[in-house]
Structure 1
Amino acid sequence: MAINAEQLTHVARLTLQCVTLNDAVKAVREALPGFRASAVDALDMRGETPVLRIGDRDLYLMQSDGHCWSVTADPGQAVGLVLTQHM
């Protein structure tokens, strides 16, 4: 499942509206059924480049070969996303 520009914009808006990072992940899961969404500590993503910076949160698109996960900048390859929050 890929994600398009309209969906990314919707995710950004949802993320801005949510008070907590976990609420943002829950909102994304509800808005994009079948698309994986997770929250991790920002340190876990050090060295990676986010696709979007949303306030104090970063969004990373993730691709998978069915076993391993990796960060991608290509929305057409994305099967999920990770959100982090800067403290």
Structure 2
Amino acid sequence: MMSRIRLMAALSLLLMLLGCSKLTQENYAKLKMGLGYGEVVTILGKPDSCSEALFAKSCVWGDEQKNITVNFAGDRVVLFTSTNIR
């Protein structure tokens, strides 16, 4: 019985953590041109993927259905977009 309660508690905690996405309109509004990569990670957390070419980096938080994409040049934000962020 006790292990079942612990399992339910662990599952509830996991569901709450998954529901606490940083992909929100409020966090998107905090993004500004010129922010450093570290500042963006502080706002959005670790990106799900990044690609680099020369002095440019493009990072994506989220997936194809819901995401924030931030482009950096010289470690500074130069462009950011979102898809289905509410």
Question: Does the TM-score normalized on the shorter chain lie above 0.5?
Answer: no
Q: Which has the larger radius of gyration?
A: 2
Give the TM-score normalised by structure 1. Answer: 0.34
The alignment's TM-score, normalised by the length of structure 2, stands at: 0.34
- Which structure has the higher relative contact order (CA within 8 Å, separation 6+)? 1
